[in-house]
């Protein structure tokens, strides 16, 4: 059985690099891949508005549709602005590229930090919200939200490791089913309303009273509450920027297809968002942050369902399958909305890695031509957030939209500078008119997003500081990574003229041995072939009996290489070897010391725990010593060669003619506090 068979079963066969074009997405797949986050936001954004307004009691609920309308206007303005972005910057850098080009690298890093935090929270919020909706429909799952959310993130990670196109195909059906379910619910509700039929949510019979201490909100307090509800509702805008970051994944013409997908997404999202708010008022949904205190008549054992679950239950009261269909597809779309982040985070991480702000491993594509390292990193960090906030979507949403609107603002101001710079040199009246119109659209978008950001910071700072602090940490970390890469690059750059550096005068070769066995003999033979100026074998005297046995065996074989024994009164191996190498370097600073270390090669992961620990420690320490070269000489054990038997390479140069070619024992791989080998010489 091939070693990578489990991997192939999980993520599929590897794809050649020249197959990248086959993974590009048509609009019908790009919509569920990149817009599922923004579309799914309509499932919880109206609920956040209702929850916030509930603080003031029933008197404030009638403001929900006005707040929803303002949110819809902001969404359309932002989408119109991003349509300009995808035409001007189609390379996939999105907000990061716009800010970097027009405001400078530091502004670009601010946007990158905000987007990275936003992508992580997208996964955390989407999965926990999806699980919450499923629990509303299946109450028996209550209490298991945390493990279910973690399991969902792991499953999403596995699906995305299979590649963008495959994940898009898998997510297309649930996304379109969600759109059909919500649209169908709105239409069915309108028909029943037109026929005069009554539709009441399960909470409609409760009386909503203000939170204790907020019974008479008025004046500035009420304005503040309405602004806070507006900022909560702006969670519906999350994910809008994902398409501008994913333009390279579209089929040609990339910019046009991306702009069209943006418009489709905005139109669908606004209709669903306003439809849900209308139905919430029509069915008299009562949502409360503290149901036991605020919902009179609910009772202490009442478990509050999500707003969407209550609305669909009321609308489809005469058609139960409709309720379960909406509950199912809502749970699926909320979970799959995290796929937007699984496509955006790795691409942005790859761009940042290419710019040397993140580790280079994030720029590498995996077997399925996806940025596998970025996908795995995103899943891991999102799981940490889910655990830290106990899979509570309401608490996570409070952190959510800060990063989104920071990137919105930087992007829109950057686009205004972009068009202004082009207008200075453009003379064609038609092109100037187009640029001026685009600049006006971006300016309107900036006004909208700036207002939202101010409101968010003013109303959510008690929670938002966590997201802001995380952004600051990321910013500092990326600057430090960039400095490290620049320092390394400066040190490694080759001089244009040959430098006047004297070559080493001599090479001292050292072969580390603990017993005379096959790996040691191979290392001796290999070291002899290198023809160093001096060659000696070195062993550490941890056990006098073993050391004496090694001496006798060495002399009996007549090996010409001298054997050096290092004393170790504290039974430690690494220290004496390092001291010996250091002394050689001190006595001849211009000489090079070449250390040969025999090692086992095993075939199973658990066998690695049993071998080569001393070798790893020694190599780790020796690598930091200037003028010291370390060479590993592997010996493949039977477990590593079981699938492809080969004849073992012998080491005739290390032993006397006529002597046996093998001897039992173990290579130089024992721990610092144990014996160098068993008495019988077994590994």
- Structure confidence by residue, pLDDT tens digits, 54-76: 877 666 778 888 999 999 998 88
Work out the pLDDT band at 586, boundaries 50, 70, 90: confident
Could you tell me the CA-to-CA distances from 650 to 519, 522, 637, 656 in Å, in that order?
Answer: 10, 7, 14, 13
Give the residue, 276 or 245, on which the prediction is more confident.
Answer: 276
Query: Is pLDDT above 90 for 162?
Result: no
Give the pLDDT of residue 178: 92
Give the pLDDT of residue 170: 67
Percent of the chain residues past pLDDT 90, beyond the cut: 25
H-only helix segments in 195-285: 220-233, 242-245, 254-282
With residue 633 as reference, give the H or E element that holds it. strand 628-636
Give the pLDDT of residue 670: 39
CA 113 from chain centre, in angstroms, equals 13
- CA-only gyration radius of the chain, Å: 33
Residues 6+ apart with CB under 8 A from 181: 325, 326, 329, 330
Work out the pLDDT band at 23, boundaries 50, 70, 90: low
Q: Calculate mean pLDDT across residues 260-267.
A: 90
Give the pLDDT of residue 56: 73
Asked if 369 and 160 count as a contact pair (C-beta separation under 8 A), the reply is no
Q: Calculate mean pLDDT across residues 198-225.
A: 73
Give the residue, 208 or 215, on which the prediction is more confident.
Answer: 208
Give the residue, 607 or 668, on which the prediction is more confident.
Answer: 607
Percent of the chain residues past pLDDT 70, beyond the cut: 82
Any long-range contacts for 222-228 (C-beta under 8 Å, 24+ apart)? 222/56, 222/60, 224/458, 224/459, 225/52, 225/53, 225/55, 225/56, 225/60, 226/53, 226/60, 226/63, 226/67, 227/455, 227/458, 227/459, 228/52, 228/455, 228/459, 228/460
Nearest-angstrom CA–CA distance, 373 and 615: 28
Q: Calculate mean pLDDT across residues 172-184.
A: 90
Give the pLDDT of residue 253: 86
Give the pLDDT of residue 457: 82
Highest mean pLDDT among 138-142, 360-364, 592-596, 643-647: 592-596
Query: Is pLDDT above 50 for 30?
Result: yes
The torsion angle over the Cα atoms of residues 483, 487, 488 and 494, rounded to 10 degrees, is 140
Work out the pLDDT band at 184, boundaries 50, 70, 90: very high
Query: Is pLDDT above 70 for 456?
Result: yes
Q: Calculate mean pLDDT across residues 336-350.
A: 81
Give the pLDDT of residue 12: 53
- Phi, psi of 635, rounded to the nearest 5 degrees: -125, 115
Q: State the chain's mean pLDDT as an integer.
A: 80
Count the alpha carbons within 13 Å of 663 in the hemisphere toward its beta carbon.
22
Give the residue, 635 or 605, on which the prediction is more confident.
Answer: 635
Query: Is pLDDT above 50 for 665?
Result: no
Could you tell me the CA-to-CA distances from 353 to 114, 470, 593 in Å, in that order?
Answer: 16, 19, 36
Q: Calculate mean pLDDT across residues 4-32.
A: 59
Lowest mean pLDDT among 239-253, 327-341, 452-466, 603-617: 603-617
Highest mean pLDDT among 4-13, 210-219, 393-402, 653-662: 393-402
Tokens of 173: 């059906």
Predicted TM-score of the model (pTM): 0.67
Q: Calculate mean pLDDT across residues 114-136.
A: 85
Give the pLDDT of residue 188: 94
H-only helix segments in 493-610: 518-529, 544-557, 574-587, 605-608
Give the residue, 228 or 478, on which the prediction is more confident.
Answer: 478
Give the pLDDT of residue 378: 92
Give the pLDDT of residue 609: 66
Residue in 103, 111, 38, 75 with CA at minimum distance from that of residue 448: 75
Asked if 352 and 100 count as a contact pair (C-beta separation under 8 A), the reply is no
Give the pLDDT of residue 668: 52
Give CATH for domain 5-13+20-486: 1.20.1740.10
Query: Is pLDDT above 60 for 120?
Result: yes
Lowest mean pLDDT among 98-112, 391-405, 530-544: 391-405
Residue ranges per structural domain of the chain? 5-13+20-486, 507-654
Nearest-angstrom CA–CA distance, 91 and 196: 53
H-only helix segments in 138-163: 145-161
Give the pLDDT of residue 647: 46
Lowest mean pLDDT among 178-182, 211-215, 484-488: 211-215
Give the pLDDT of residue 564: 93
The residue to which tokens 């969407």 are assigned: 308
Work out the pLDDT band at 86, boundaries 50, 70, 90: confident
State whether residue 414 is helix, strand or coil.
helix
Residue in 489, 504, 491, 484 with CA at minimum distance from that of residue 629: 504
- CATH architecture for residues 507-654: 3-Layer(aba) Sandwich (3.40)
Q: Calculate mean pLDDT across residues 239-258.
A: 81
């Amino acid at each position: 059985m091939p070693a990578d068979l489990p991997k192939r079963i999980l993520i599929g066969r590897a794809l050649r690099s020249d197959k990248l074009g086959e993974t590009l997405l048509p609009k019908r797949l790009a919509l569920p891949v990149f817009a599922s986050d923004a579309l799914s936001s309509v499932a919880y954004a109206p609920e956040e508005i209702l929850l916030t307004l509930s603080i003031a009691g029933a008197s404030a609920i009638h403001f929900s549709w006005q707040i929803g309308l303002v949110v819809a206007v902001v969404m359309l303005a932002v989408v119109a602005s991003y349509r300009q972005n995808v035409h001007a910057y189609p390379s996939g850098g999105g907000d990061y590229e716009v800010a970097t080009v027009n405001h400078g690298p530091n502004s670009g890093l601010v946007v990158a930090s905000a987007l990275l935090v936003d992508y992580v929270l997208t996964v955390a919020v989407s999965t926990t919200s999806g699980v919450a909706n499923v629990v509303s429909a299946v109450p028996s799952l209550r209490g298991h939200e945390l493990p279910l959310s973690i399991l969902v993130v792991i499953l999403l990670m596995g699906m995305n490791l299979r590649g963008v196109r495959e994940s898009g195909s898998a997510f297309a059906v649930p996304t379109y089913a969600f759109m059909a379910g919500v649209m169908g619910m709105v239409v069915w509700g309108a028909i029943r309303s037109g026929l005069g039929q009554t539709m009441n949510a399960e909470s409609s019979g409760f009386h909503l009273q203000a939170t204790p201490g907020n019974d008479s909100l008025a004046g500035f307090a009420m304005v503040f509450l309405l602004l806070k509800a507006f900022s909560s509702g702006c969670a519906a805008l999350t994910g809008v920027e994902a398409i501008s970051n994913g333009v390279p994944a579209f089929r040609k013409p990339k910019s046009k297809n991306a702009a069209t997908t943006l418009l489709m997404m905005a139109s669908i999202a606004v209709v669903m968002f306003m439809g849900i708010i209308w139905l919430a008022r029509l069915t008299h949904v009562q949502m409360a942050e503290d149901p036991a205190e605020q919902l009179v008549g609910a009772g202490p054992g009442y478990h509050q369902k999500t707003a969407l679950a209550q609305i669909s239950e009321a609308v489809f009261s005469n058609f139960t399958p409709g309720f379960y269909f909406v509950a199912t597809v809502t749970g699926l779309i909320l979970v799959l909305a995290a796929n937007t982040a699984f496509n955006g985070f790795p691409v942005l991480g790859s761009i940042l890695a290419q710019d040397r702000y993140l580790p280079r491993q994030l720029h590498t594509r995996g077997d399925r031509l996806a940025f596998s390292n970025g996908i795995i990193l995103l899943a891991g960090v999102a799981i940490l957030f889910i655990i830290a906030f106990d899979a509570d979507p309401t608490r996570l949403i409070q952190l959510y939209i800060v990063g989104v609107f920071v990137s919105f603002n930087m992007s829109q101001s950057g686009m205004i500078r972009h068009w202004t710079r082009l207008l200075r040199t453009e003379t064609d009246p038609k092109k100037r008119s187009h640029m001026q119109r685009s600049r006006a659209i971006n300016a309107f978008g900036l006004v909208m997003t700036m207002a939202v950001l101010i409101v968010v910071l003013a109303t959510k700072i008690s929670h938002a500081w966590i997201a802001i602090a995380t952004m600051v940490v990321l910013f500092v970390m990326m600057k430090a990574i960039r400095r490290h890469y620049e320092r390394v690059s400066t040190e490694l750059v080759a001089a244009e003229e040959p430098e006047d550096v004297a070559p080493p005068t001599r090479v001292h070769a050292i072969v580390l041995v603990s017993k005379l066995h096959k790996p040691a003999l191979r290392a001796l033979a290999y070291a002899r072939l290198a023809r160093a100026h001096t060659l000696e074998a070195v062993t550490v005297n941890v056990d006098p009996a073993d050391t004496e046995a090694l001496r006798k065996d060495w002399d009996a074989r007549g090996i010409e290489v001298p054997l050096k024994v290092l004393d170790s009164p504290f039974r430690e191996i690494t220290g004496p070897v390092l001291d010996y190498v250091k002394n050689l370097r001190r006595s001849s600073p211009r000489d090079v010391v070449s250390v040969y270390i025999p090692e086992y090669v095993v075939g199973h992961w658990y066998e690695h725990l049993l071998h080569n620990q001393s070798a790893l420690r020694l190599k780790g320490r020796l690598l930091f010593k200037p003028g010291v070269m370390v060479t590993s000489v592997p010996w493949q054990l039977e477990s590593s060669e079981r699938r492809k038997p080969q004849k073992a390479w012998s080491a005739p140069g290390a032993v006397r003619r006529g002597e046996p070619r093998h001897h039992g024992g173990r290579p130089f791989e024992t721990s610092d506090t144990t014996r160098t080998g068993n008495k019988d010489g077994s590994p």
